[in-house]
Homo-oligomer: A and B are copies of this chain.
Amino acid sequence: MPYHHGNLREALLEKATEAIEEDGIGALSLRAVARRAGVSHGAPAHHFSDKTDLLTALATRAMDRFRAALATGVREAGGSEREKLRAMGRAYVRFATEHPALFRIITSSEFIRRDDPEFAASYQSTFDMLKQAVSEAQREGWAQGVDAMALVILSWSTAHGLTTLWLDGALADGVGPFDLEAVAAHVFEVLTAV
Protein backbone atom coordinates (compact mmCIF):
# COMPACT_ATOMS: atom_id res chain seq x y z
CA MET A 1 0.00 0.00 0.00
CA PRO A 2 2.03 2.89 -1.29
CA TYR A 3 1.80 6.28 0.30
CA HIS A 4 1.05 7.81 -3.03
CA HIS A 5 -1.99 6.41 -4.68
CA GLY A 6 -0.96 7.07 -8.24
CA ASN A 7 -4.05 8.49 -9.81
CA LEU A 8 -6.33 9.24 -6.93
CA ARG A 9 -8.35 11.73 -8.89
CA GLU A 10 -9.49 9.11 -11.35
CA ALA A 11 -10.09 6.55 -8.63
CA LEU A 12 -12.22 8.96 -6.62
CA LEU A 13 -14.40 9.78 -9.60
CA GLU A 14 -14.81 6.10 -10.28
CA LYS A 15 -15.63 5.12 -6.72
CA ALA A 16 -17.98 8.05 -6.36
CA THR A 17 -19.86 6.91 -9.44
CA GLU A 18 -20.14 3.42 -8.00
CA ALA A 19 -21.38 4.72 -4.67
CA ILE A 20 -23.92 6.97 -6.32
CA GLU A 21 -25.29 4.24 -8.53
CA GLU A 22 -25.62 1.96 -5.51
CA ASP A 23 -27.04 4.25 -2.84
CA GLY A 24 -28.26 7.31 -4.68
CA ILE A 25 -26.92 10.81 -4.83
CA GLY A 26 -28.34 11.91 -1.50
CA ALA A 27 -26.48 9.26 0.44
CA LEU A 28 -23.07 10.10 -0.99
CA SER A 29 -20.41 11.20 1.45
CA LEU A 30 -16.91 12.32 0.63
CA ARG A 31 -15.52 10.19 3.41
CA ALA A 32 -17.22 7.09 2.10
CA VAL A 33 -15.70 7.71 -1.30
CA ALA A 34 -12.28 8.07 0.32
CA ARG A 35 -12.83 4.78 2.14
CA ARG A 36 -13.78 3.03 -1.09
CA ALA A 37 -10.58 4.27 -2.64
CA GLY A 38 -8.58 3.02 0.35
CA VAL A 39 -7.39 6.44 1.31
CA SER A 40 -7.78 8.78 4.26
CA HIS A 41 -10.73 11.14 4.45
CA GLY A 42 -8.53 14.16 3.97
CA ALA A 43 -7.00 12.96 0.74
CA PRO A 44 -9.74 14.08 -1.67
CA ALA A 45 -9.18 17.68 -0.68
CA HIS A 46 -6.02 17.73 -2.77
CA HIS A 47 -7.88 16.85 -5.94
CA PHE A 48 -11.26 18.45 -5.38
CA SER A 49 -11.67 21.65 -3.45
CA ASP A 50 -15.14 20.67 -2.49
CA LYS A 51 -17.76 17.97 -2.51
CA THR A 52 -19.53 20.00 -5.18
CA ASP A 53 -16.28 20.17 -7.11
CA LEU A 54 -16.03 16.39 -7.23
CA LEU A 55 -19.63 16.02 -8.26
CA THR A 56 -19.21 18.64 -10.97
CA ALA A 57 -16.28 16.75 -12.45
CA LEU A 58 -18.32 13.58 -12.21
CA ALA A 59 -21.27 15.27 -13.88
CA THR A 60 -19.11 16.45 -16.74
CA ARG A 61 -18.10 12.88 -17.55
CA ALA A 62 -21.67 11.70 -17.13
CA MET A 63 -22.82 14.38 -19.53
CA ASP A 64 -20.30 13.13 -22.08
CA ARG A 65 -21.65 9.61 -21.70
CA PHE A 66 -25.17 10.94 -21.98
CA ARG A 67 -24.43 12.77 -25.20
CA ALA A 68 -22.76 9.67 -26.59
CA ALA A 69 -25.84 7.62 -25.72
CA LEU A 70 -28.09 10.08 -27.52
CA ALA A 71 -25.83 10.07 -30.54
CA THR A 72 -25.82 6.28 -30.65
CA GLY A 73 -29.59 6.20 -30.47
CA VAL A 74 -29.88 8.61 -33.36
CA ARG A 75 -27.28 6.81 -35.44
CA GLU A 76 -29.01 3.46 -35.07
CA ALA A 77 -32.34 4.99 -36.01
CA GLY A 78 -31.63 6.19 -39.47
CA GLY A 79 -34.69 6.91 -41.56
CA SER A 80 -36.32 10.29 -41.61
CA GLU A 81 -35.21 13.29 -39.61
CA ARG A 82 -38.36 13.04 -37.55
CA GLU A 83 -37.57 9.44 -36.76
CA LYS A 84 -34.10 10.49 -35.67
CA LEU A 85 -35.61 13.00 -33.29
CA ARG A 86 -37.91 10.36 -31.85
CA ALA A 87 -34.97 8.00 -31.44
CA MET A 88 -33.17 10.71 -29.54
CA GLY A 89 -36.08 11.00 -27.19
CA ARG A 90 -36.16 7.26 -26.63
CA ALA A 91 -32.41 7.25 -25.97
CA TYR A 92 -32.92 10.08 -23.48
CA VAL A 93 -35.38 8.02 -21.51
CA ARG A 94 -33.33 4.86 -21.73
CA PHE A 95 -30.15 6.46 -20.44
CA ALA A 96 -32.02 7.91 -17.50
CA THR A 97 -33.52 4.57 -16.54
CA GLU A 98 -30.21 2.79 -16.88
CA HIS A 99 -28.28 5.42 -14.94
CA PRO A 100 -30.82 7.22 -12.80
CA ALA A 101 -28.29 8.69 -10.39
CA LEU A 102 -26.03 10.00 -13.12
CA PHE A 103 -29.01 11.49 -14.91
CA ARG A 104 -30.10 13.16 -11.72
CA ILE A 105 -26.72 14.75 -11.23
CA ILE A 106 -26.33 16.18 -14.70
CA THR A 107 -29.74 17.79 -14.68
CA SER A 108 -29.75 19.07 -11.12
CA SER A 109 -28.38 22.34 -9.86
CA GLU A 110 -28.23 21.30 -6.24
CA PHE A 111 -25.17 19.12 -6.39
CA ILE A 112 -23.04 20.65 -9.11
CA ARG A 113 -21.86 24.02 -10.36
CA ARG A 114 -23.53 24.36 -13.72
CA ASP A 115 -21.36 27.36 -14.59
CA ASP A 116 -18.20 25.31 -14.30
CA PRO A 117 -16.47 25.82 -17.68
CA GLU A 118 -15.94 22.16 -18.48
CA PHE A 119 -19.43 21.13 -17.50
CA ALA A 120 -21.00 24.06 -19.31
CA ALA A 121 -19.09 23.16 -22.46
CA SER A 122 -20.21 19.55 -22.32
CA TYR A 123 -23.76 20.64 -21.65
CA GLN A 124 -23.71 23.01 -24.61
CA SER A 125 -22.55 20.24 -26.92
CA THR A 126 -25.45 18.09 -25.85
CA PHE A 127 -27.95 20.88 -26.21
CA ASP A 128 -26.59 21.71 -29.66
CA MET A 129 -27.28 18.12 -30.71
CA LEU A 130 -30.92 18.58 -29.79
CA LYS A 131 -31.18 21.94 -31.50
CA GLN A 132 -29.80 20.53 -34.68
CA ALA A 133 -32.08 17.48 -34.60
CA VAL A 134 -35.13 19.68 -34.08
CA SER A 135 -34.02 22.06 -36.79
CA GLU A 136 -33.59 19.29 -39.36
CA ALA A 137 -36.87 17.65 -38.46
CA GLN A 138 -38.57 20.98 -38.97
CA ARG A 139 -36.80 21.51 -42.28
CA GLU A 140 -38.16 18.12 -43.25
CA GLY A 141 -41.67 19.35 -42.65
CA TRP A 142 -42.42 19.00 -38.98
CA ALA A 143 -44.47 21.74 -37.33
CA GLN A 144 -44.12 24.28 -40.09
CA GLY A 145 -44.45 27.86 -38.98
CA VAL A 146 -43.79 27.20 -35.31
CA ASP A 147 -41.03 29.14 -33.59
CA ALA A 148 -37.90 26.97 -33.59
CA MET A 149 -36.94 27.81 -30.04
CA ALA A 150 -40.38 26.85 -28.80
CA LEU A 151 -40.03 23.51 -30.54
CA VAL A 152 -36.67 22.85 -28.94
CA ILE A 153 -38.06 23.71 -25.54
CA LEU A 154 -41.14 21.62 -26.13
CA SER A 155 -39.15 18.57 -27.19
CA TRP A 156 -36.63 18.82 -24.39
CA SER A 157 -39.32 19.50 -21.80
CA THR A 158 -41.41 16.54 -22.81
CA ALA A 159 -38.54 14.06 -22.72
CA HIS A 160 -37.24 15.55 -19.51
CA GLY A 161 -40.58 15.75 -17.77
CA LEU A 162 -41.54 12.22 -18.69
CA THR A 163 -38.20 10.98 -17.43
CA THR A 164 -38.11 12.81 -14.14
CA LEU A 165 -41.73 12.08 -13.32
CA TRP A 166 -40.99 8.43 -13.91
CA LEU A 167 -37.82 8.44 -11.84
CA ASP A 168 -39.65 10.07 -8.94
CA GLY A 169 -42.43 7.52 -9.17
CA ALA A 170 -44.99 10.25 -9.70
CA LEU A 171 -46.39 8.86 -12.92
CA ALA A 172 -46.93 5.36 -11.65
CA ASP A 173 -48.70 6.80 -8.62
CA GLY A 174 -51.14 8.72 -10.76
CA VAL A 175 -51.67 6.56 -13.78
CA GLY A 176 -50.77 3.07 -12.63
CA PRO A 177 -47.78 0.99 -13.68
CA PHE A 178 -46.83 0.89 -17.35
CA ASP A 179 -43.95 0.17 -19.68
CA LEU A 180 -41.99 3.39 -19.81
CA GLU A 181 -40.14 2.75 -23.06
CA ALA A 182 -43.31 1.88 -24.91
CA VAL A 183 -45.20 4.87 -23.56
CA ALA A 184 -42.25 7.14 -24.27
CA ALA A 185 -42.18 5.95 -27.87
CA HIS A 186 -45.89 6.58 -28.15
CA VAL A 187 -45.68 10.05 -26.63
CA PHE A 188 -42.91 11.05 -29.00
CA GLU A 189 -44.99 9.78 -31.91
CA VAL A 190 -47.84 12.02 -30.87
CA LEU A 191 -45.52 14.95 -30.45
CA THR A 192 -43.96 14.63 -33.87
CA ALA A 193 -47.16 13.74 -35.70
CA VAL A 194 -48.08 17.25 -36.72
Contacts and interface: CB of A to CB of B under 8 A. Distances in A.
Interface of A: 24-26, 107-110, 114, 120, 123-124, 127, 130-131, 143, 146-147, 149-154, 156-165, 167-171, 173-175, 178, 183, 186-187, 190-191, 193-194
A96 to B, nearest CB: 12
15 contacts: A24-B110, A26-B110, A108-B168, A109-B168, A114-B169, A123-B173, A127-B174, A150-B187, A152-B175, A153-B187, A154-B158, A157-B165, A158-B161, A159-B161, A161-B164
A18 B109 CA distance: 21
A114 B173 contact: yes
Q: Quick one: which of A25, A147, A170, A171 has the most chain B CB within 10 A?
A: A170
A57 to B, nearest CB: 18
A141 to B, nearest CB: 16
Nearest to A114: B169
A157 B158 contact: yes
A190 to B, nearest CB: 6
B157 A187 contact: yes
Closest 8 CB pairs between A and B?
A161-B161, A157-B161, A127-B174, A160-B161, A157-B162, A109-B168, A158-B158, A154-B187
